[in-house]
Amino acid sequence: MINRIKELTEQLNQHNYNYYILDNPTISDYEFDKLLEELTRLEQEYPQFAQPDSPTQRVGGEITKQFVTVPHVFPMLSLGNTYSIEEISEFDKRVQNALLQKAEYVCELKYDGVAISLVYEKGRLLRAVTRGDGVQGDDVTQNVKTIKSIPLKLFGDYPDFLEVRGEIVLPHKAFEKLNLEREDIGEQPFANPRNAASGSLKLQDSSEVAKRGLDCRLYLVLGESLPFKTHFESFTKLKEWGFKTPETVQKCSSIEEIRSFISQWDKEREQLSFDIDGVVIKVNDILQQQQLGATAKNPRWAIAYKFKAQRVATKLLSVDFQIGRTGVVTPVANLQPVLLAGTVVKRASLHNYDIIQQLDIHENDWLYVEKGGEIIPKIVGVELSKRQEYTEKVSFISHCPFCNSLLIKKEGEAATYCPNESGCPPQMKGKLEHFISRKAMNIDSLGEGKIEMLFDNGLVKTSADFYHLKTESLLGLEKKIVGDDSTERIISFREKTVENMLAGIEQSKEVPFERVLFAIGIRYVGETTAKKVASYFKTIDAIANASKEELKAVDDVGEQVAESIVQFFNTVENLETIIKLRETGVQLELNEEDHQLLSHVLEGKSIVVSGVFSISRDAMKQKIELHGGKNVSSISKNTNFVIAGENMGPEKRKKAEKLGVQILSEIEFENIIK
């Protein structure tokens, strides 16, 4: 069996390389998935034979509770940087003066993400560490292993020890998708792809990281007696060893060539699929690099030219306050339209109360709008010389502009909320839009402005009302819709439209419980959390009756999410909607198959799992459930036993011993359920 596991590991790694690095797949996605399925199955059956470079790690599953700090083999220096070509010229003079032979340069892009050090031993990815303070950083190996363009196993004549450095970036498409998802569950969107990449790298659940779509651009190779003499050649070697190398690296032997590389990418950077914030200029010859050496902070053989953020001043016309589905208030500046980096900017988010305070914006001010690495323009300051006399400071509203409720801002949180969840029109409409959305109940026959129409005509107030709609009340309803570009469209409910709508609503009764749980719109409960909570508790009643502590036993659920779930089920209006949904036949529990227990051996037992197991912690908890046990998050005198994996926290062990709670190993546990 071990041979088949090894063979599949190798084959799949090769296919991964063909697909992600060479861009030249030799098997179909279907065939690839079949092989991966086989390997996953075999590894589950024979975990002792799983290879350290197994491609199954790409989908994640490992949970890192706390990232361990590890020292760097070579310190991670940063680059001196400049915004002027003159200073690049001075850098060149310094370099040439210090060397006996003329230096040639390599120009490459300055990727705007998070620096990473990848350590390979005997061709296997051993460790991935963040920059940290340059001397030591966080071990984020499990998360980095999910990035498909980073090889887990090298090919060819690689050295025994190799360190490759690069930048983890989040491409624009993945960034936009992630932010839409976050807004959808009432979480603050990330300000830019760099922050999103950094946040993703620090997630505890690597299967979540796998879904984020991170990528990596490489820029430096370190080690001893490496088989190349120049930085440029190092990329050829990297490619041979199985790395994805950048195609934009260029040799330059004069300031003129450097200047033209910079101006080319200053223009073309908008067409890239990820953010860059400048260009890096490096001495090509590695011996020359060594002769030049480094200061305490920066190498003397490289410099970064940073692009100036593109910025214009424009006049503030007014500030709107928008209310999202979860009640978060977002101030939006309406601006005199202005051209910035190729697009006309008319509106820009002012994010929240604190930002308006910091910027100290007054009515009619001239504001600076900037588009730097980020794709969304942001307001970065005020041109005070143009401020008119006696203008009032822009104030944040105290009451909701739509329902007049007093707004709430919690200590330590940036967001301001309208608390009137069930009576504030934009929140109600937002919740309905969310309910029917693709990942929720997927009723696409209700899209395109229909919700607005149903809501404005008083036909639907909560999601349960969809299920009571009748043909007679819908036929003939009409509405004029004005698009962003001022084009007008009339939508009217004709027979066919109504028929489709009602059929779509009817069909949604088949949507499985986990998606219904996502659809009902509990703040902070996204698609994945909903799935985990549903499979753990099985029924909506069990969730509604669960305490905060019980909810926290689910891997994905922390204090904030648990609090939000409890609050949701403590609200009368939400309970009423759920009662009505139940009457209509919407799935409010997992179906029979998912319900069935494998045995009752753990019935009535409260169990705590701690540490790392041969399967993911989620899978472990599911096993407990399937045998009738109950997972709890912390050890108390009511705990029946603790299952201890590798690296069980010493505090937990002490507590269990003190309370006399039995500690079982994974094998002992397996024997019990057998």
**Which residue type is seen at 286?**
I
Regarding 504 and contact with ligand IVH (CB under 6 A), the answer is no
Q: Side by side, which strands form the sheet with 114-121?
A: 124-130, 114-121, 161-169, 215-222
- Closest distance of CB 177 from ligand IVH, Å: 24
Work out which of 8, 39, 42, 79 binds ligand IVH, going by CB under 6 A.
79
Asked whether the beta carbons of 78 and 298 are under 8 A apart, the reply is yes
Q: Which helix (H) or strand (E) holds 32?
A: helix 29-45
**Which residues, 6 or more positions from 674, have their beta carbon under 8 angstroms from its beta carbon?**
none
- Scanning 187-195, 297-305, 358-366, 612-620 for contacts with ligand IVH by CB under 6 A, the matching segment is 297-305
| Residues of span 359-418 touching ligand IVH by CB under 6 A | none
Residue pointed to by tokens 């063909």:
18
Query: Is residue 525 a contact residue for ligand IVH (CB under 6 A)?
Result: no
Six token digits for residue 564: 């939000």
Q: Which is nearer to ligand IVH, 302 or 557 (CB)?
A: 302
Has 110 been annotated as catalytic?
yes
Interaction of residue 108 with ligand IVH, rule CB under 6 A = yes
Whose structure tokens read 């036909």?
A: 459
**CB-nearer residue toward ligand IVH: 130 or 577:** 130
Residues between 220 and 249 with contacts to ligand IVH, criterion CB under 6 A: 220
Closest CB to ligand IVH among residues 213, 246: 246
Query: Among 72-80, 354-362, 427-435, 648-656, which window interacts with ligand IVH (CB under 6 A)?
Result: 72-80
Single residue of 219, 243, 305, 467 touching ligand IVH by CB under 6 A: 219
**HEC profile of 155-196:** CCCCCCEEEEEEEEECCHHHHHHHHHHHHHCCCCCCCCHHHH
Options 111, 158, 353, 417; binder of ligand IVH; rule CB under 6 A = 111
Is residue 167 within the footprint of ligand IVH (CB under 6 A)?
yes
235 versus 513: smaller Cβ distance to ligand IVH: 235
Q: Select the span of 108-116, 398-406, 475-483, 624-632 touching ligand IVH (CB under 6 A).
A: 108-116
Give one DSSP letter per residue of 469-510, joined into a string: --HHHHTT-EEEEE-TTS-EEEEE--HHHHHHHHHHHHHGGG
Stretch that binds ligand IVH, among 105-113, 426-434, 507-515, 545-553 (CB under 6 A): 105-113
Q: Which of 34, 93, 102, 110 is catalytic?
A: 110
Q: Which residues pair with 368 in a beta bridge?
A: 313, 381
In the list 147, 196, 302, 635, the residue contacting ligand IVH (rule: CB under 6 A) is: 302
Measure the CA–CA gap between 570 and 556, rounded to whole angstroms: 21
- Nearer residue to ligand IVH within complex by CB, 115 or 581: 115
User: What's the closest the beta carbon of residue 166 comes to ligand IVH, in angstroms?
Assistant: 8
Among 58, 110, 552, 652, which residue interacts with ligand IVH (rule: CB under 6 A)?
Answer: 110
């697009």: which residue's tokens?
343
Q: Which is nearer to ligand IVH, 198 or 260 (CB)?
A: 198
Which of residues 190 and 301 has its CB atom nearest to ligand IVH in the complex?
301
Distance, in Å, from the CA atom of 632 to the CA atom of 655, rounded to the nearest integer, reads: 15
Residue 193 near ligand IVH by CB under 6 A: no
Residue 115 binds ligand IVH, judged by CB under 6 A: yes
Contacts of ligand IVH in 584-603 (CB under 6 A): none
Identity of the residue, 150 or 436, whose beta carbon is nearer to ligand IVH in the bound complex: 150
Scanning 73-81, 120-128, 310-318, 429-437 for contacts with ligand IVH by CB under 6 A, the matching segment is 73-81
Binding mask 121-160 for ligand IVH (x = CB under 6 A): ----------x-----------------------------
Burial class of residue 71 (count of CB atoms within 10 Å of its CB; 0-12, 13-18, 19+) = exposed
- Residue 163: half-sphere exposure toward Cβ, Cα within 13 Å: 16
CB 280, min distance to ligand IVH, A: 4
Q: How far is the CB of 107 from ligand IVH (least distance, A)?
A: 9
**Side by side, which strands form the sheet with 276-283?**
81-82, 302-306, 276-283, 105-111, 250-252
* Shortest spacing between CB 643 and ligand IVH, in angstroms: 41
CB of 230 to ligand IVH, least distance (A): 15
Residue 61's alpha-carbon distances to 349, 398, 466, 616, 621, in angstroms, are 36, 44, 38, 6, 13
**How near is the Cβ of 86 to ligand IVH at its closest, in Å?**
20
307 binds ligand IVH (CB under 6 A): no
CB of 291 to ligand IVH, least distance (A): 15
| Interface size with ligand IVH, residues (CB under 6 A) | 15
In SS3 terms, 193-218 reads as: HHHHHHHHHCCCEHHHHHHHCCEEEE
CA distance linking residue 92 with residue 283, whole number of Å = 9
Nearer to ligand IVH, 120 or 274 (CB): 274
Tell whether residue 466 is a contact of ligand IVH (CB under 6 A). Answer: no
Q: Please give the residues from 266 up to 285 whose contact with ligand IVH meets the rule CB under 6 A.
A: 280
Stretch that binds ligand IVH, among 74-82, 440-448, 519-527, 600-608 (CB under 6 A): 74-82
Question: H/E element holding 430?
Answer: helix 425-436
**SS3 assignment, position 294:** strand
Q: Give the separation between CA 302 and CA 295, rounded to whole angstroms.
A: 12
Q: With beta carbons less than 8 A apart as the criterion, state whether 311 and 368 touch.
A: yes
CA atoms within 13 Å, Cβ hemisphere of 122: 2
Min. distance of Cβ 233 from ligand IVH in angstroms? 16
Structure tokens at 390: 């006696």
Least distance between ligand IVH and beta carbon 338 (Å): 30
Burial class (CB in 10 A: 0-12, 13-18, 19+), 640: middle
The partner residues of 287 in beta bridges, in order of sequence, read: none
Q: 127 CB contacts (<8 Å, ≥6 apart)?
A: 70, 117, 118, 119, 139, 141
| Residue sitting closest to ligand IVH (CB) | 115
CB of 216 to ligand IVH, least distance (A): 11
Q: Does 299 bind ligand IVH (CB under 6 A)?
A: yes
| CA atoms of 92 and 103, how far apart (whole Å) | 9
Q: What single letter denotes the amino acid at residue 71?
A: P
Residues near ligand IVH, by CB under 6 A: 77-79, 108, 110-111, 115, 131, 167, 219-220, 280, 299, 302, 304
Active site positions, annotated? 110
